[in-house]
């Protein structure tokens, strides 16, 4: 699909919404996500915008930019009688919708280039392209290498759920480049790499692909790559995981005995499917506190899907479309049998567990509590909470929402500094 075709698809979606064709818009959503989108909810959001800003006066020219290996982000500015807003769509190369969001008008502007955070010293390190893993699942990565001539500690970065590039690019923000450059400025080598699901999503067998394949195999390969590098101390290689990557970090260390320690950033301890349900319930009332989340169509759909995952009769033959995000049953079966806290408790490794106080995706009261209860008797486990930080460790105030991830910002400097000091001070 050409860029012109993508733009034409986005324009068709806009025309349908103006004509009250929300059921037709839902039909354009990717099959794996269709059950999560209700025509009534789209209509309610559109009518709320019309009530607030007045009738549409002008629809701007769409702009496009990459949103992953096979997806395009389309931004459209909408001018109304009393205000303006932006419509953001993610469209795959077959013309299916993977995202539709109404945002403040500034979101329609072209994404500005990422700029290094002030805590980065670009002269303190160099960067080198590497290949992680073996064919057919090898992916490209970047090694940020401090200028020090003597071998030093190193970190492998593991991102959260879903396809993502090595920087975990989200609009104008790149949280893994923040971390890599920030830690390298402190003399710590960092290896980050594109996820298998980002590079090979069209060739991997989704029916048999598991979280072990997504995280453990490439992470172990990354550790081995670092152990062979002359500027890396092979006895001081750490694994740092964020979100689902943090949840999977203990599993990586259990599979690779040479790992020296773990850094867990917003690592979930609640099962992933239940965490997803908790998130959609939160978002259902984020802008309407008095609303009943159980009346929300998305909450109802996810509730049914989560019940299937908890059902002892879940099997690899369970249809994908009945499960959350259209992810096949084998993936959920693999995750269902994994307890990150129990695995972590069996590891005789130092761990640093970090949590944002404003995080609604991985929370202090549910997920951090799991780490605290399971590792309470360990004197080599450090737990730190950053009250002002959200799930991406961006500092702010007030309740966190997805819109809070959009402005240009950087990972909290205190988080980067604490990781660097902890790694530098960890003795084995």
Instruction: Indicate whether 428 pLDDT > 70.
Output: no
Instruction: Indicate whether 338 pLDDT > 70.
Output: yes
109/270: higher pLDDT: 270
CA distance 61 to 130: 39
pLDDT class of 347 with cuts at 50, 70, 90: very high
Instruction: Indicate whether 178 pLDDT > 90.
Output: yes
Q: Which of 66, 68, 206, 198 is nearest to 133 (CA)?
A: 198
Q: In the chain, what percentage of residues exceed pLDDT 90?
A: 77
Query: How does pLDDT run across 66-111, given as a tens digit for each residue?
Result: 876 678 899 999 999 999 999 999 998 889 998 898 988 988 888 7
**Which two tokens mark 3?**
């860029």
pLDDT class of 38 with cuts at 50, 70, 90: confident
Query: How does pLDDT run across 373-398, given as a tens digit for each residue?
Result: 999 889 999 999 999 999 999 999 99
Contacts 24+ apart (CB under 8 A), 287-295: 287/401
Query: How does pLDDT run across 299-321, given as a tens digit for each residue?
Result: 999 999 999 999 999 999 999 98
CA distance 245 to 216: 10
Q: Computed from CA positions of residues 422, 377, 334, 313, in that sequence, does the dihedral angle turn out positive or negative?
A: negative
Burial 305-341 (b: 16+ CB within 10 A, else e): bbebbeeeebeeebeeeebbbbbbbbbbbebeebbbb
CA distance 78 to 69: 28
Query: How does pLDDT run across 107-148, given as a tens digit for each residue?
Result: 888 878 899 999 999 999 999 999 999 888 899 999 999 999
Mean pLDDT (whole number) for 164-188: 95
CA distance 30 to 37: 10
Q: Report pLDDT for 69.
A: 66
Query: How does pLDDT run across 206-251, given as a tens digit for each residue?
Result: 889 999 999 999 999 999 999 999 999 999 999 999 999 999 999 9
> Angle 22-24-26 (CA atoms, 0-180°, nearest 5)?
75
Q: Report pLDDT for 325.
A: 87
Contacts of 403 (CB under 8 A, 6+ apart): 103, 104
Mean pLDDT (whole number) for 144-171: 94
CA distance 261 to 33: 37
Q: In the chain, what percentage of residues exceed pLDDT 70?
A: 99
Give the chain's count of helices (H) and strands (E).
15, 15
CA distance 286 to 361: 13
């Amino acid at each position: 699909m050409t860029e012109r075709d993508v733009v034409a698809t986005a324009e068709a979606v806009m025309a349908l919404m103006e004509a009250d064709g929300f059921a037709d818009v839902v039909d354009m959503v990717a099959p794996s996500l269709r059950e999560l989108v209700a025509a009534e909810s789209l209509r309610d959001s559109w009518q709320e915008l019309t009530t607030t800003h007045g009738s549409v006066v002008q629809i701007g020219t769409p702009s496009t930019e990459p949103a992953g290996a096979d997806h395009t982000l389309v931004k459209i500015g909408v001018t109304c009688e009393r205000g303006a807003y932006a419509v953001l769509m993610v469209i795959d190369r077959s013309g299916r919708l993977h995202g539709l969001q109404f945002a403040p008008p500034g979101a329609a502007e072209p994404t500005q280039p990422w700029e290094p955070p002030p805590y980065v010293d670009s002269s303190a390190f160099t960067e080198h392209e590497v290949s992680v893993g073996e064919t057919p699942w090898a992916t490209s990565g970047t090694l940020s290498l401090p200028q020090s001539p003597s071998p030093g500690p190193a970190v492998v970065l593991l991102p959260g759920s879903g396809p993502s590039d090595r920087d975990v690019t989200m609009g104008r923000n790149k949280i893994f480049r923040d971390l890599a450059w920030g830690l390298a400025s402190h003399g710590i080598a960092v290896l980050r790499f594109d996820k298998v699901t980002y590079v090979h999503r069209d060739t991997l067998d989704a029916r048999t692909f598991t979280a072990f394949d997504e995280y453990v195999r490439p992470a172990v390969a990354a550790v081995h790559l670092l152990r062979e590098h002359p500027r890396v101390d092979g006895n001081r290689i750490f694994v740092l995981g964020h979100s689902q990557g943090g949840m999977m970090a203990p599993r990586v260390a259990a599979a690779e005995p040479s790992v020296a320690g773990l850094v867990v950033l917003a690592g979930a301890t609640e099962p992933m499917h239940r965490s997803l349900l908790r998130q959609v319930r939160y978002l259902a009332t984020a802008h309407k506190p008095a609303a009943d989340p159980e009346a929300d169509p998305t909450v109802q759909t996810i509730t049914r899907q989560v019940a299937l995952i908890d059902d002892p009769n879940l099997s690899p033959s369970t249809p994908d479309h009945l499960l959350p995000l259209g992810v096949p049953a084998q993936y959920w079966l693999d995750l269902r049998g994994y307890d990150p806290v129990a695995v972590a408790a069996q590891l005789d490794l130092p761990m640093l567990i970090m949590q944002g106080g404003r995080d609604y995706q991985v929370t202090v009261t549910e997920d951090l509590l799991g780490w605290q209860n399971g590792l309470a008797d360990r004197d080599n486990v450090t737990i730190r909470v950053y009250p002002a930080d959200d799930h991406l460790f961006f500092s702010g105030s007030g309740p966190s929402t997805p819109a809070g991830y959009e402005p240009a910002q950087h990972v909290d400097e205190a988080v980067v500094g604490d990781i660097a000091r902890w790694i530098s001070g960890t003795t084995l």
